[in-house]
Amino acid sequence: MRLNDLDPRWIVQDGRRIGFCFVSPAQPKRSDGTSHPDPWRQTCFVVMTPRSLQREIFEGMFGENDFRVQGCRPDFAWTVAGGIDAATFETMTVTPSLDGSAGGLWHGLITNGEIR
């Protein structure tokens, strides 16, 4: 699967990219075993970003209370090969892996724009 297939979006603060988000290829199930009609998004930040700021950013991107986004660890920053400013969703490589499994979301690698 390609990252481009998952409606990726840049996360921008003060005019510069600080991360990105995408629809998780794995979605948690409701208690009745069905999927929620609004998919969860996962995020990846290349700068350490406090949870309160992450929430503020998501509210600006998706609406005050109308979003299903799993934030990132506030004490960690991922690396985008070649830097996030030069990155494209078609060719991006991110290290280390993104782990959304605590919330029932995807855990894996993004390599050359491919979700693995």
Q: Using CA atoms, how far apart are residues 27 and 16, in angstroms rounded to an integer?
A: 29
Q: Is residue 48 part of a domain?
A: yes
> What values do phi and psi take at 80, rounded to 5?
-105, 120
Number of structural domains the chain divides into: 1
**32 part of a folded domain:** no
Q: Identify whether the C-beta of residue 7 lies closer than 8 Å to the C-beta of residue 24.
A: no
* Domain assignment of residue 33, yes or no: no
**Host domain of residue 98:** 3-25+38-115
Structure confidence by residue, pLDDT tens digits, 48-105: 999 999 999 999 888 876 678 999 999 999 999 999 999 999 999 999 999 999 888 9
Q: What's the token pair of residue 71?
A: 């934030």
pLDDT at residue 35 above 90?
no
Would you tell me how many other CB atoms lie within 10 Å of the CB of residue 38?
Answer: 10
pLDDT of residue 45: 97
Asked if residue 31 belongs to a domain, the reply is: no
Residue bearing tokens 């996030």: 84
What backbone torsions phi and psi does residue 4 show, to the nearest 5 degrees? -60, -20
Q: Please state, as a whole number, how many other Cβ atoms lie within 10 Å of the Cβ of residue 86.
A: 11
* Percent of the chain with pLDDT strictly greater than 90: 78
53 within a domain of the structure (yes/no): yes
Residue 59 forms part of a structural domain? yes
Asked if residue 10 has pLDDT above 90, the reply is yes
Instruction: Give the global pTM.
Output: 0.91
Is the residue at 86 inside a domain? yes
